[in-house]
Amino acid sequence: MRCAECTELLSAYMDDELMRDEQEAVREHLATCSECAREEQALAGTSRRIKENLMRHATPDVLKARIRNSLARDDAFTPAPVPRRPAWTRWPALAAAGLVVAVASSTIAASLTRRSLASDAIAETIVDAHIRSLMPGHLTDVVSTDQHQVKPWFNGRVDLSPAVPNLDSAGFLLTGGRVDYVDGRAIPVVTYTRRQHVINVFAEPADGRSSSAHETRNGYHMVEWQSGGLEYWAVSDLNSAELEQFIALFKRG
């Protein structure tokens, strides 16, 4: 075997992807040609360094949630022959497929017993608004980490003034605000982030009916509470313990 031919085959030789006789011929050539042997070492070293240093990436939770949501929606748009179970009853099957973050399935029981959110339709709209906000460029209309910029920004844009507490010291970073249309009206949304998780806080005038609820939809946690004549919803894929912590701090202002 000539060197040129050997060089050509070296890479496939390393991968054990040659025909047996070719594999054998390269092996014999390498035993006798130091130049080609050096070349093989260089290529094998390159290959090893890539394998050792470059990692496989885990799918981020935000992407899993986006996919979960679009699959649920795709399903919803297709007429099915039998009455469908609600989307969330499929999550256990999904978890088996390795898709769902553990936290989602662990809260299904809770969502079954505490489905007291005022209206399913509004809850659905709010989760939709949350998911829409995760699309690139949709999260904030006013980008600011300063509560004294975000709060006045809502003046004249919406007819109520939501609380915008500064929770930086607790690790919940204010990222800005935006106006969403939910159920036909403009409502203010204040956004925070914790690590890579987005928390959207929606505010609406309280309708007098006192309700507080925890729910999990499409893998997102939703919590509802009242404060200062307003009704708030926080939505996030953050785990429920941290979301509860966030809400306790938010209420305290």
Q: Which of residues 29-58 bind another protein (CB under 8 A)?
A: 38-39, 42-43, 45-47, 49-51, 53-58
d(CA 11, CA 94) in angstroms, rounded, equals: 40
Nearest CB to another protein, comparing residues 90 and 114: 90
Nearest CB to another protein, comparing residues 44 and 122: 44
DSSP-derived letter for residue 100 is S
Q: Which of 19, 20, 34, 81 binds another protein (CB under 8 A)?
A: 81
d(CA 249, CA 7) in angstroms, rounded, equals: 65
d(CA 72, CA 90) in angstroms, rounded, equals: 9
d(CA 212, CA 214) in angstroms, rounded, equals: 7
DSSP-derived letter for residue 233 is E
> Is 66 a residue that touches another protein (CB under 8 A)?
yes
Q: Shortest gap between Cβ of 32 and another protein (angstroms)? A: 18
DSSP-derived letter for residue 85 is P
> Is 108 a residue that touches another protein (CB under 8 A)?
no
Q: Which of 84, 132, 138, 148 binds another protein (CB under 8 A)?
A: 84
Q: Which of 5, 24, 67, 211 binds another protein (CB under 8 A)?
A: 67
Q: Which amino acid is at 181?
A: Y
> Is 168 a residue that touches another protein (CB under 8 A)?
no
Number of residues that bind another protein (CB under 8 A): 47
Q: Which of residues 4-33 bind another protein (CB under 8 A)?
A: 7-8, 10-12, 15, 17
What is the DSSP secondary-structure string of 138-203?
A: -S-SEE-S-HHHHHHHTBTTBSS-------GGGT-EEEEEEEEEETTEEEEEEEEEETTEEEEEEE
Nearest CB to another protein, comparing residues 102 and 241: 102
Stretch of 92-100, 165-173, 208-216, 235-243 contacting another protein, by CB under 8 A: 92-100
Measured CA to CA in angstroms, residue 181 lies from 129, 147, 171, 178, 221 at distances of: 8, 22, 29, 10, 20
Which residues form the interface with another protein (CB under 8 A)?
7-8, 10-12, 15, 17, 38-39, 42-43, 45-47, 49-51, 53-60, 62-64, 66-67, 70-71, 74-75, 78, 80-81, 84-85, 90, 93-94, 96-99, 136
